[in-house]
Amino acid sequence: GFGFAGGEAAPAAASGGAAKSVLLVGQAGAAPWPHFQRWLEEQPQPVANPLDTWSRQMIGAVAQEFGARAVSPSDRPYLPFQQWAMRAEGLKPSPLSILMHPTYGLWHAYRGALLFEEELSLPQPREAIHLCDTCIDKPCMKSCPVDAYSEQGFRHETCLAHVRGTDGTACRAGGCLDRNACPYGVDYRYPADAQAFHMAAFAGL
């Protein structure tokens, strides 16, 4: 997390006044996945956007306990979660636009944040080693069968059509081939069923 600077346009805290501090909440690797699955199995009815719903419940309970306001990356209007993460942890984007973490590679995610009315005592963020700068071969740019990622950016419609099509079985079953090709943080890679869940959500399957 970090403290908002004086005069900075900060989002509202729980009371409606400008927040002075933010703590990001997320996951590293697949550790939360079994807990989410158990929660989902216990629901009496199908849940729309289940991972968002579960994350909101978990983070919201913590926010209530500590008098903070919980916010989510899917809230409208969108809050700058990626910029907050870069500021809090000194991270930089990978060629896939996912932030590269020096320990977890591409296998981490921010599920929410806590906004506080008071200034929290937080360590000064340090710029992290950007592993993409040391990666010569860039396998993440060479593994997609339809070259959805390039130096020109992400071809969303091309990726979507492939994942939904007859040739997209590997992507649907095990996640993005470019992301899985990254050599960093492999010990934290999400299991295939978690990746399939995310891919289905992305493709609307």
Q: Which residue has the tokens 């969108």?
A: 78
Same domain flag for 27 and 109: yes
The whole-number pLDDT of residue 36 equals 96
Same domain flag for 149 and 86: no
* Per-residue pLDDT reduced to its tens digit, 121-173: 988 877 788 999 999 999 999 999 999 998 888 999 999 999 999 999 999 99
* Per-residue pLDDT reduced to its tens digit, 161-188: 999 999 999 999 999 999 999 999 999 9
Same domain flag for 6 and 101: yes
The proportion of the chain whose per-residue pLDDT surpasses 70, expressed as a percent, equals 100
Same domain flag for 117 and 178: no
Q: Which residue has the tokens 């005069």?
A: 7
Q: Which residue has the tokens 């289905």?
A: 200
Same domain flag for 34 and 58: yes
Measured between alpha carbons, how far is 162 from 173 in angstroms, rounded to an integer?
13
Measured between alpha carbons, how far is 59 from 191 in angstroms, rounded to an integer?
23
Can you read off the two tokens belonging to residue 199? 């891919």
Same domain flag for 158 and 118: no
Can you read off the two tokens belonging to residue 137? 């071969």
Same domain flag for 55 and 106: yes
* Per-residue pLDDT reduced to its tens digit, 86-98: 999 999 999 999 9
Give the closest residue to 107 by CA, choosing from 119, 117, 123, 96.
Answer: 96
Q: Which domain holds residue 123?
A: 2-128
The whole-number pLDDT of residue 99 equals 96
Q: How confident is the model at residue 19 (pLDDT cuts 50, 70, 90)?
A: very high
Helix (H, G, I), strand (E, B) or coil at 141: helix
Helix (H, G, I), strand (E, B) or coil at 65: helix
Number of domains the chain contains? 2
* Per-residue pLDDT reduced to its tens digit, 38-82: 999 999 999 999 999 999 999 999 999 999 999 999 999 999 999
The whole-number pLDDT of residue 151 equals 80
Domain boundary among 103, 128, 153: 128
Same domain flag for 171 and 195: yes
Q: How confident is the model at residue 115 (pLDDT cuts 50, 70, 90)?
A: very high
Q: Give the count of beta carbons closer than 10 Å to the beta carbon of residue 3.
A: 17
